[in-house]
Structure 1
Amino acid sequence: MKLLYIIGIWTYTLLIRIFSLFNPKAKLFINGRKNIYTLIAQKINPEEKHIWFHFASLGEFEQGRPVLEKLKALFPAKKIVVTFFSPSGYEIRKNYALADVFYLPIDTAGNAKRFIASINPEMAIFTKYEFWHFYFKELKELEIPLYVISGIFRGSQAFFKWYGGFYRNILKSVTYFFVQNEESQNLLKSIGLNNVTINGDTRFDRVYENAQSPKQLPLIESFIGSSPTLVCGSTWPEDEKILSNLPEKYPNWKFIIAPHEIHESHIESIEKQFSTNSLRFSVLSASNQALNAEHQTLIIDNIGMLSSLYQYGNVAYIGGGFGTGIHNTLEAAAFGLPVIFGPKYDKFQEAKDLITIGAAKSISSTAELINAFDSFAENKNAAELARKYVADKKGATDQIISMITKSDRP
């Protein structure tokens, strides 16, 4: 199985190299790892100890960020290294002020030894998932504590199958698991891993904190005026197609579309679907109130605003549910917005919870979207349920910090 793992890693790398010839994200993946050790040597003193945080992508960064920032606040002299696997995380957070940020070199025995020696970690913290054989093995051999925070496991994963011995051995390198739910804890214990506690999801701490002091966006305020607003976050073409039926039916509402991808062809596609009634954020003018009033739909053609946009909404639509799975519902819920999303949400416990308490609805058609929108448009109770759900779930960060910083670590 180890041989198959190695072949899989090299095959994946080869495919990415081929895709990089015509795919911008794949090109970033490859180019970002060129001369990586030279870049590390320019920024990192290997004689100094570091705390290493690894994130698959931007979502995991935001999930683990409360733990990182709390550690930095408690120990300001500690140096932190952050790595990303995906360009969508690295490119947005590469200038993050609290850490030196790098791409994670591909998981090989040589890279694991060289990278870990280069950053000299006193502990490693991985958020939610990504379990790399050679990196975990090297950390264990060097007796460097390795923690998985906000972990979540499902019975369908290879760790819990009869053929999953190799993958179970990867998990055995982890010092301690901080998991989100009882199912994850029970699954780990079923394979003999008792170094686990249920601490919840650190995303609740992050989104709650964001909702308490969001960045103000005067241009958005100017566009909305006094109109009720639907904020549509991380949308894909399948979402936009169904959403385009709403503006004409609800002329008194404003609509903000923040697509997951902002390349020009996608923005143009959204403009066509929402006709002449749409306006790009890049051409929005605070001084031109007539222009703002004329347009009903605002298209956000930049990255990084979404978490602050929800403060201006009354209802949220979360994209991704017609594809591989919905995006972040908690950012919207933290602001007291009931949420609507597509049918593929089964891997997201918070989505199930929000539906159960009446603060979310899943839809599969235009008719269902309209019904869900109508039910939430004036539903102050749903808004309060969403806000309370997030507030009641926060606290995982403090539990994790307490356990990984005490002298007698688990």
Structure 2
Amino acid sequence: MKPALPDPLPAKSFFATWFSHFSYNYLILPFLYIGLRLAAFFNAKIRRGIAGRKHLFERLEKKLRPFTSRESTILIHAASMGEYEQARPVIRELRRRFPELCIVASVFSPSAYDHIHDRSEADVLTYLPVDFRHQVRRFLDRVQPMALLVIRHDLWPNLLWEAQRRGIYTMLLDASVHRGSLRHRKLVRYFYRQVFAAFSAVCAISETEL
């Protein structure tokens, strides 16, 4: 049985959407990527993460091949080991209720990938690619999920915006924003309002987080 999901929410105003996409793709993301590449010279974990993403799409396509006959696919993203532990009961429940689903789990952290690799409840474990639009599109073309579930706070705007554009149901689970978070700052809050607008549903840990 295929799970029934409501339609994703519509996008917000054109200007807000354009400004968020432009600032992220032409200012924020390039700066973050350059910083990541520079930091890799001094941080072995970052180097492992970069190396682990080489030939990502070829490996992903090979891993998905045995599940092409499955009725549909759900993608669950967890940044690191802690978030993946929170995802485990969700994966187990999906497996129990919808055994015909192909469940793909993505992680960002190389430590999480190495630790989970041989004991993942998901059918496929993969790195999430860097959040450039062309890589996100290629990733979603491979996975073709009917739904994207994100655990906690690892929000990658292009992934969410592209999922929304494709009509993929997106849900944020165990959402929380602590009081000292930069996301409370006015400009940052304005940007993240457009990111959160891409979600079809947000499940917060308490009413105070909404």
TM-score of the pair, normalised by structure 1:
0.42
What displacement does 1:140 show? 0.9
Write the mapping of 1:269-284 to structure 2, written as runs, cut at 5 A.
none
Match of 1:42 in 2: 62
Secondary structure of the structure 2 residue equivalent to 1:61:
helix
What displacement does 1:99 show? 2.4
- Determine if the alignment matches structure 1 residue 15 to structure 2 residue 35: yes
149, 166, 170: which one aligns with 1:142: 166
Partner amino acid for 2:113?
Y
Match of 2:201 in 1: 176
Partner amino acid for 1:24?
A
Partner amino acid for 1:162?
K
- Determine if the alignment matches structure 1 residue 77 to structure 2 residue 77: no
Write the mapping of 1:5-404 to structure 2, written as runs, cut at 5 A.
5-6=24-25, 7-45=27-65, 49-95=72-118, 96-163=120-187, 164-185=189-210
What displacement does 1:159 show? 4.7
Partners of 1:27 and 1:37 in 2: how far apart? Answer: 19
Contact 2:86/2:151, CA 8 A, preserved across alignment:
yes
Contact 1:151/1:179, CA 8 A, preserved across alignment:
yes
Cα distance change on mapping 1:144 and 1:23 into 2, 3 Å: same
1:319-368 CA-to-partner distances (Å, cap 9, x unmatched) read xxxxxxxxxxxxxxxxxxxxxxxxxxxxxxxxxxxxxxxxxxxxxxxxxx
Secondary structure of the structure 1 residue equivalent to 2:146:
strand
Contact 1:16/1:30, CA 8 A, preserved across alignment:
no
Partners of 1:31 and 1:123 in 2: how far apart? Answer: 28
What displacement does 1:82 show? 0.7
Q: What residue ranges of structure 2 are gaps of 5+ in the alignment?
A: 1-19
What displacement does 1:105 show? 0.5
Partners of 1:67 and 1:97 in 2: how far apart? Answer: 10
Match of 2:16 in 1: none
Partners of 1:10 and 1:26 in 2: how far apart? Answer: 17
What displacement does 1:74 show? 1.7
Partners of 1:141 and 1:2 in 2: how far apart? Answer: 13
Partners of 1:160 and 1:145 in 2: how far apart? Answer: 26
Partners of 2:199 and 2:182 in 1: how far apart? Answer: 17
Partner amino acid for 2:172?
V
Q: C-alpha root-mean-square deviation of aligned residues, in Å?
A: 2.0
Contact 1:153/1:183, CA 8 A, preserved across alignment:
no
Partners of 2:81 and 2:45 in 1: how far apart? Answer: 14
Partner amino acid for 1:171?
F
What displacement does 1:97 show? 4.7
Partner amino acid for 1:133?
P
What displacement does 1:15 show? 2.8
Percent identical pairs in the alignment equals 24
Partners of 1:77 and 1:12 in 2: how far apart? Answer: 39
Contact 2:92/2:121, CA 8 A, preserved across alignment:
no
From the CA coordinates, give the structure whose radius of gyration is larger: 1
Contact 1:51/1:123, CA 8 A, preserved across alignment:
yes
1:167-224 CA-to-partner distances (Å, cap 9, x unmatched) read 2011011111111112112xxxxxxxxxxxxxxxxxxxxxxxxxxxxxxxxxxxxxxx
Match of 1:300 in 2: none
What count of residue pairs does the alignment treat as equivalent?
185
Cα distance change on mapping 1:39 and 1:181 into 2, 3 Å: same
Partners of 1:103 and 1:93 in 2: how far apart? Answer: 11
Secondary structure of the structure 1 residue equivalent to 2:199:
coil
Contact 2:105/2:122, CA 8 A, preserved across alignment:
no
Secondary structure of the structure 2 residue equivalent to 1:121:
coil
Partners of 1:183 and 1:97 in 2: how far apart? Answer: 32
